[in-house]
Amino acid sequence: MYFDQMFKMNHSTYPFRCSGIKSNLASVLHLALQNRVEDVSLNELPANVRLYRLFDELLNKQFPLDSPAYPLALKTASDFADHLNVHVNHLNSSVKSVTNLTTTQIIKEKIFEESKNLLKYTNWDIAQVGYTLGFEQPSHFNNFFKKHAETSPLKFKNAF
Taking the chain (160 residues) in runs of 10, the rounded mean pLDDT of each run is: 78 80 74 60 82 96 93 96 97 97 97 97 95 95 96 93
Domain range for 75: 46-158
Cβ-defined contacts of 21-29 (< 8 Å, 24+) = 27/2, 28/2, 28/3
Q: Are residues 5 and 54 in the same domain?
A: no
Question: The whole model's pTM is what?
Answer: 0.72
| Residues 20 and 14 sit within 8 Å (Cβ to Cβ) | yes
- Domain for residue 40, yes or no? no
| Residue 36, pLDDT score | 58
Report pLDDT for 34: 67
**pLDDT value at residue 23:** 76
3, HSE (Cβ side, Cα atoms, 13 Å): 2
* Co-location of 101 and 29 in the same domain: no
Is position 41 within any domain?
Answer: no
The pLDDT of residue 26? 73
